[in-house]
C-alpha cells in the first residue's frame, strides 16, 4: 500500500485555502500528511490556525534573510521534512526560476482566475475591471513563468448583474476551498508519493556527446567534465574523447546492449531515450526511472551524419542512404522536446556559449535551453528537407509546382544591408547547390549586386551561343550585343545606352582578353563576369580597379522555380523561358524578312530578360534602344525609339507581349523599323496586322509571351 503523500503548505495571510485542506485531511476527505505550514509573514493568521490543528509551522523571513536565503531555507525545510509536494495556498511571493527548477513538477498553486487570463496578484480585481461575464479558479503545476504551468483543474464563476466585487470575491473563495481539496485528492491518487523523488538530484549530471563533426568536441567535453558532468558517448566519439584524455562512460555501460546492425543502432534504447525525456519530479516518471534503473541525461550534444556533403560528392544511392542519421535525429528531437530539463546542442558555434553559461551561472537558464531547442528543431527539419531533395535528385523524381514545398536554405553570406541601408539582408542557398560564380577580386557583393546578377546571368545563358555582352542596371539590361570578339561585343553593347551603363554590371559569354579589359576600365562598372579571363587579366582588374568585382561564371545553380514572398503569400512558378521562336512555327504578316532573322531572335532574347513592358530595337547584332519597365507598351516603344536615335532606321523590334493597339506599330514604321516580332493574342490582332501591312512593316507572330515583372 502506498504511503500518504507529505505536503508542505506555504501561506502569507489568513490561509483559508490551507484551512480547507487541513480540515479535509482531518476529516478523511484527503489522504495526505501535512509536513509543515510555512509563511513569509510571522504575523500570518494561518500559522495560528495550523498550530491549533497540530501542524508544525515555520517562518521564512524574506525581510531579514533576503529572497535567495529565504528560498534556500524553504527548500531545506521541504527536503528535511521529506515533503513530496509543495502546496501554495495564498503564498504571495514569486518563486525564483532556480527554486522552481529545484522542485520541478512538485509545486502546486491555486489562482483566483481562469488562467491564462488575469495572472498576477490581483486576479479577481483585474477580472472585475475588465468586465468579463465570468471568471473562476485555476489549480496548476507551477513552472518558471508567473501563474503558468500545466493546468490540473478549472471551475468557472459567473458574474451576475447584482454582484459587487465583494460578492464575486466571496463566490470565488468558496469555489477555491472545494476545488483545491478535490483536485489535490485526484492528483495524489494518480501521482502517489515516491520515496525516490530525489533520485535525479542525487545522480551525477550526465552529458551525452554523439558527434560526426568532432570540431571543438574535445574542448567541450573537458569543459563539461570540469563542471561536474559525467560524459556519456558511443563508438567513434567515445574513442576520440578518451584519446584526448576525457573519462567516458560508454552507452553500452548504461544500456547493457552493444551497437547492433553494423552500428545502425547504438543510442536508440529506452535507457537513453528515457533519461533524456524524463520529466524531473513527476512521480510517474521517477517511479519508472527507479524501476528500470534509468539515469537522467541533462545535456545532449549531437552533430549529424554528413548527408549533404555525401550527396555533393557524387556517392551512389547505397552510400547516400547510409549517411541518413536516425539515432542522432532522435536524440536531438527528444532533448529539444524536453528543453525544460535538458540542454540540446547541435551547433558547434554554441560550444563556447555552453561553457560560458556554466562558468557564469553554474547551470543553464530556461531561456538558453529554449533557444538551443528551437535551433535543434530547425536543424532536424532542415536535415530532413535536405534528405528529401537529395533522394529526389538521386531517384530522378521531378518536383512539381503544385507539390507542397520543403525549402531548406543555408545562409551563404550575411550582407551589409538590403536594397536600402535600413534593411537587414543575407544571401541563402539551397542544399546541394553552389553559387554559379567564383569571385576573383573586388569588394564584397551587395544585395543590389546580387539582384542585378540574376538578370546578367540570365543574359549570359540566353546569349551563350554567340560571343555576346550584356550590361545590366537595376535588374534590367541597358545594352546587349554580339560580335566576332569580346571587345566588339562590349563596345556595341555600351553604345546602346552609355549613360545608364555607368555604374552597371557587365557579363560576357567568352573569356575576357587584355584589350577588352582595358576598354572596360575606361567606364565605372560594379561587376564584370565572364566564363574565363586570359592570362594577367584578372590581376589587371584587381590592380587597376580594386573595387571592381570580378566574377568567373561557373556551371552551377539554375533554380527550377522562381519564388517570390510577398504580402499575399509565396508565389512559385517554373523558372524557364519558352522555346526560341522559329520561322517555321510562326506567321509573317507583310513581306517575310529571313535576312533579318538573327537580329529578330536576338531582339526577342533581349526583350525576354527586360522588365515588362518591354520593347527592344536591334540592328546589326546590337540593341540600339531598350524600353523596359513601362506601364504601357506605347511609352516603351517611344522610349526605345528615342534612345536609338537614327539607328532605329533599318532595325528590328521585339515586344515581350502583344500590341493591344496599332499605335506602337505606327511609331515603329515612322522610325524606319523594318521588322517586328510579337507573340500575338490581342483581341485587336487583326487590326494590328492590317496596320503593319499598310505601313510596309514586316510583322512576325510567333514565340511566347515573356513577361518579366
What is the spatial distance between Cα 310 and Cα 14, in angstroms, rounded to a whole number?
68
What is the spatial distance between Cα 66 and Cα 96, in angstroms, rounded to a whole number?
12
Q: Look up 337 and say whether it is catalytic.
A: yes
What is the spatial distance between Cα 331 and Cα 383, in angstroms, rounded to a whole number?
14
Q: Look up 611 and say whether it is catalytic.
A: no
Q: Point out the catalytic residue in the list 67, 312, 474, 690.
A: 474
Dihedral sign of CA atoms 79, 80, 86, 91 in order: negative
C-alpha cell at 95: 518563486
| Angle, vertex CA 460, rays to CA 457 and CA 466, nearest 5 | 175
Closest CA to 337 of 278, 381, 282, 385: 278
| Angle, vertex CA 31, rays to CA 29 and CA 35, nearest 5 | 125
- Asked if 472 contacts 505 with a C-beta cutoff of 8 angstroms, the reply is yes
- Asked if 668 contacts 647 with a C-beta cutoff of 8 angstroms, the reply is no
Give whole-number Cα distances, 272 to 10, 269, 322, 703, in Å. Answer: 37, 5, 22, 63
- In DSSP notation, 622-657 reads EEEEEE-S-SSHHHHHHHHHHHHGGGGTT-EEEESS
Residue 305 CA, chain-centre distance (Å), reads 21
- In DSSP notation, 380-442 reads HHHHHHHHHHHHHHHHTPPPPTTSPP----EEEEEES-SSSTTS-EEEEE-TT---SEEEEES
C-alpha cell at 555: 556551371
- Asked if 126 contacts 118 with a C-beta cutoff of 8 angstroms, the reply is yes
Closest CA to 686 of 655, 653, 704, 659: 659
Q: Is 214 left (phi over 0), alpha (psi -120 to 50) or beta?
A: alpha
Closest CA to 320 of 232, 394, 423, 409: 394
- Asked if 588 contacts 700 with a C-beta cutoff of 8 angstroms, the reply is yes
The widest CA-to-CA distance across the chain, in whole angstroms, is 115
C-alpha cell at 508: 560576357
Q: The cell 531548406 sits on which residue? A: 408
Give whole-number Cα distances, 150 to 92, 119, 144, 278, 563, in Å. Answer: 20, 14, 11, 16, 41
54 CB-contact burial (10 Å; exposed 0-12 / middle 13-18 / buried 19+): exposed
Q: Point out the catalytic residue in the list 312, 337, 375, 443.
A: 337
Q: The cell 550584356 sits on which residue? A: 470
Does an H or E element contain 492, and which? helix 486-496
Active-site annotation, residues: 337, 474
Amino acid at each position: 500500500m502506498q504511503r500518504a503523500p507529505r505536503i508542505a503548505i506555504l501561506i502569507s495571510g489568513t490561509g483559508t485555502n490551507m484551512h480547507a485542506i487541513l480540515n479535509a485531511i482531518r476529516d478523511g476527505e484527503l489522504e495526505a500528511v501535512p509536513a509543515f505550514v510555512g509563511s513569509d509573514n510571522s504575523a500570518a493568521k494561518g500559522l495560528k490556525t495550523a498550530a491549533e490543528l497540530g501542524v508544525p509551522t515555520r517562518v521564512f523571513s524574506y525581510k531579514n534573510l533576503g529572497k535567495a536565503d529565504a528560498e534556500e531555507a524553504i527548500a531545506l525545510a521541504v527536503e528535511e521534512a521529506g515533503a513530496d509536494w509543495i502546496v501554495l495556498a495564498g503564498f504571495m511571493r514569486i518563486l525564483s526560476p532556480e527554486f522552481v527548477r529545484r522542485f520541478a513538477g512538485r509545486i502546486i498553486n491555486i489562482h483566483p482566475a481562469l488562467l491564462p487570463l488575469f495572472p498576477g496578484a490581483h486576479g479577481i480585481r483585474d477580472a472585475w475591471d475588465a468586465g468579463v461575464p465570468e471568471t473562476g479558479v485555476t489549480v496548476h503545476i507551477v513552472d518558471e513563468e508567473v501563474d503558468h504551468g500545466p493546468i490540473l483543474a478549472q471551475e468557472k464563476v459567473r458574474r451576475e448583474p447584482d454582484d459587487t466585487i465583494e460578492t464575486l470575491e466571496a463566490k470565488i473563495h468558496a469555489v477555491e476551498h472545494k476545488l483545491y481539496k478535490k483536485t489535490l485528492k485526484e492528483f495524489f491518487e494518480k501521482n502517489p508519493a515516491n520515496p525516490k523523488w530525489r533520485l535525479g538530484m542525487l545522480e551525477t549530471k550526465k552529458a551525452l556527446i554523439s558527434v560526426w563533426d568532432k570540431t571543438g568536441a574535445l574542448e567541450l567535453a573537458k569543459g563539461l567534465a570540469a563542471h561536474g558532468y559525467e560524459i556519456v558517448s558511443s563508438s567513434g566519439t567515445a574513442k576520440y574523447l578518451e584519446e584526448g584524455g576525457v573519462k567516458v562512460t560508454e552507452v553500452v555501460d548504461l544500456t547493457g546492449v552493444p551497437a547492433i546492425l553494423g552500428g545502425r543502432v547504438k543510442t536508440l534504447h529506452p535507457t537513453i531515450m528515457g533519461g533524456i525525456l524524463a520529466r524531473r519530479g513527476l512521480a510517474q516518471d521517477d517511479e519508472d526511472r527507479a524501476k528500470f534503473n534509468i539515469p537522467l541525461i541533462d545535456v545532449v550534444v549531437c552533430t549529424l551524419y554528413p548527408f549533404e556533403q555525401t550527396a555533393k560528392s557524387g556517392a551512389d544511392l547505397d552510400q547516400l542512404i547510409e549517411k541518413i542519421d536516425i539515432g542522432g535525429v532522435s536524440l536531438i528531437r527528444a532533448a529539444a522536446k524536453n528543453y525544460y530539463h535538458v540542454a540540446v546542442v547541435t551547433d558547434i558555434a554554441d560550444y563556447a556559449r555552453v561553457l560560458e553559461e556554466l562558468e557564469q551561472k553554474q547551470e543553464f537558464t530556461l531561456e538558453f535551453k529554449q533557444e538551443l531547442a528551437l535551433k535543434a528543431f530547425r536543424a532536424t527539419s532542415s536535415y530532413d528537407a535536405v534528405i528529401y531533395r537529395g533522394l529526389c535528385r538521386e531517384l530522378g523524381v521531378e518536383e512539381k509546382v503544385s507539390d507542397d514545398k520543403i525549402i531548406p536554405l543555408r545562409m551563404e553570406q550575411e550582407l551589409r544591408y538590403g536594397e536600402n541601408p535600413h534593411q537587414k539582408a543575407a544571401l541563402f542557398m539551397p542544399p546541394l547547390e553552389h553559387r554559379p560564380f567564383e569571385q576573383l577580386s573586388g569588394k564584397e557583393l551587395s544585395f543590389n549586386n546580387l539582384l542585378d546578377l540574376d538578370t546578367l546571368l540570365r543574359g549570359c545563358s540566353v546569349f551563350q551561343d554567340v560571343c555576346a555582352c550584356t550590361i545590366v542596371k537595376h535588374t534590367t539590361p541597358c545594352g546587349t550585343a554580339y560580335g566576332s570578339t569580346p571587345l566588339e561585343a562590349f563596345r556595341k553593347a555600351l553604345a546602346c545606352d552609355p549613360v545608364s551603363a555607368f555604374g552597371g554590371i557587365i557579363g560576357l559569354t567568352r573569356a575576357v582578353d587584355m584589350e577588352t579589359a582595358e576598354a572596360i576600365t575606361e567606364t565605372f562598372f560594379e561587376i564584370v563576369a565572364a566564363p574565363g579571363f586570359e592570362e594577367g587579366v584578372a590581376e589587371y582588374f584587381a590592380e587597376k580597379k580594386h573595387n571592381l568585382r570580378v566574377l568567373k561564371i561557373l556551371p552551377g545553380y539554375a533554380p527550377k522555380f522562381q519564388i517570390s514572398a510577398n504580402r499575399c503569400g509565396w508565389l512559385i512558378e517554373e523558372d524557364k523561358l519558352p522555346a526560341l521562336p522559329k520561322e517555321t512555327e510562326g506567321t509573317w504578316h507583310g513581306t517575310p524578312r529571313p535576312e533579318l532573322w538573327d537580329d529578330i531572335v536576338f531582339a526577342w532574347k533581349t526583350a525576354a530578360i527586360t522588365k515588362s513592358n518591354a520593347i527592344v530595337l536591334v540592328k546589326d547584332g546590337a540593341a540600339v534602344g531598350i524600353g523596359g519597365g513601362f506601364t504601357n507598351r506605347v511609352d516603351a516603344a517611344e522610349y526605345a525609339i528615342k534612345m536609338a536615335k537614327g539607328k532605329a532606321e533599318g532595325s528590328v523590334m521585339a515586344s515581350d507581349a502583344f500590341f493591344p493597339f496599332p499605335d506602337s506599330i505606327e511609331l515603329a514604321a515612322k522610325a524606319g523599323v523594318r521588322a517586328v516580332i510579337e507573340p500575338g493574342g490581342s483581341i485587336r490582332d487583326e487590326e494590328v496586322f492590317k496596320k503593319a501591312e499598310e505601313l510596309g512593316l514586316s510583322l512576325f507572330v510567333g514565340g511566347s509571351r515573356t513577361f518579366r515583372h
